[in-house]
Amino acid sequence: MLDATWFSEAQEPSGSAFSLKIKRKLHEEQSEFQFLEIYETEQFGNLMVIDGCTMVSTRDNFFYHEMMSHPVLFTHPNPKNVLIIGGGDCGTLREVLKHPGVEKAVQIDIDERVTRLSEIYFPELCESNNDPRAELKFIDGIKWVKDAAPNSVDIIIIDSTDPVGPAAGLFCADFYKDCFRALTENGIVVQQSESALLHMHILQEMRGEMRAGGFNHYQTVFFPQCIYPSGWWSATMAGKNAFTAFREQDAINKGFDTVYYNHEIHKASLAMPEFFKKAFA
């Protein structure tokens, strides 16, 4: 059994667990919505944990934040208005604002404490929070989208916790209907869609709920994410219209730094594993 110098997240349903060796616990608090912990680890920098689940580490968050942002932004023909639901650590916001064509990025996280802790323990993820194009609000994303003006956002990025607790409603048809109405003609929603190895039932339920919400065009992208269950993660895009080829030349000439994403990774991330093809044939 691991001793107290390890943080472990047991994923009971999959009979697996993930552990990081820690130096010390830096902070913990019960916010209005969730239990937040911050650790200093031996090899992964700082680690944020929400309700016992790993959220973000200094060392490997680039996989997730880059793949939640750049594939969808380079798939849309000309994204100007972007909405991020969740994303309280602000890493996705930072990636979105690397795109010079983006004129407005609104981040809606239900829990302000996540952002305030990220500002202290992950300042590098918050470096774009004062960009004049950025707007941070701390309310329920479900309510915000319900009240959003029709035809008002080009891209919605749902960077939420797992489909439990305050995030459960972000995986339901009623929410997707509101997203569909808020999106512009070529609008695309992208949502973190868990692990295809461990959570195919969630991916299949999500597709069904998205379809009930009015979406008929989907693309799932796959990428590594060490600190999440199985280490293999996904994000699912749903479009109002059929997806055209992504803007590969723009991705080649992106003009900003990334650690993982490039146009080859973008292409490769669209390749569907055989079991996945069969599940959605």
Measured from the CB atom, is 229 or 263 closer to ligand SAM?
Answer: 229
Minimal distance, residue 24 CB to ligand SAM, in Å = 21
Q: Pattern of binders to ligand SAM over 42-61, x per CB under 6 A?
A: -------------x------
Q: How far is the CB of 110 from ligand SAM (least distance, A)?
A: 4
Query: Judged by CB under 6 A, which stretch of 13-21, 105-113, 128-136, 234-242 contacts ligand SAM?
Result: 105-113
| Angstrom distance (rounded) from CA 279 to CA 245 | 23
Binding mask 162-181 for ligand SAM (x = CB under 6 A): x---xx--x-----------
Give the one residue of 73, 75, 81, 87 binding ligand SAM; rule: CB under 6 A.
87
- In the range 182-201, which residues lie near ligand SAM by CB under 6 A? 192
Q: The tokens of 109 are what?
A: 């996280």
In terms of CB distance, is 107 or 263 closer to ligand SAM? 107
End-to-end CA distance of the chain: 43
Taking contact as CB under 6 A, which single stretch among the options 79-87, 124-132, 198-206, 211-219 is the one that binds ligand SAM?
79-87
CA distances from 211 to 183, 205, 207 (A): 15, 10, 6
Q: Record the tokens describing residue 279, joined without a space.
A: 């599940």
Rounded CA separation 222/201 (Å): 16
Which one among 142, 196, 210, 227 touches ligand SAM, defined by CB under 6 A?
142
Which range touches ligand SAM (CB under 6 A), out of 109-117, 200-208, 239-247, 258-266? 109-117
Distance between CA atoms of 93 and 97, rounded to whole angstroms? 6
Q: Is 159 annotated as catalytic?
A: yes
Question: Do residues 196 and 222 touch, judged by C-beta distance below 8 A?
Answer: yes
Residues 6+ apart with CB under 8 A from 123: none
Our finding on whether 20 is near ligand SAM (CB under 6 A) is: no
Starting at the edge strand that comes first in sequence, how are the strands of the sheet with 134-137 ordered? 134-137, 104-108, 81-86, 153-159, 183-192, 232-239, 217-224
Q: Is 209 one of the binding residues for ligand SAM (CB under 6 A)?
A: no
Q: Which stretch binds ligand SAM (CB under 6 A): 110-118, 120-128, 204-212, 257-265?
A: 110-118
Q: Nearest Cα to 195, choosing from 34, 54, 50?
A: 54
Q: Closest separation between CB of residue 94 and ligand SAM, Å?
A: 13
Residues in binding site for S-methyl-5'-thioadenosine: 34, 109, 140-141, 166
Active site residues: 159
Residues in binding site: 34, 65, 89, 109, 140-141, 159-162, 166
Which residues contact ligand SAM by CB under 6 A? 55, 64, 85-89, 108-111, 114, 140-142, 159-162, 166-167, 170, 192
Residues in binding site for spermidine: 65, 89, 159-162
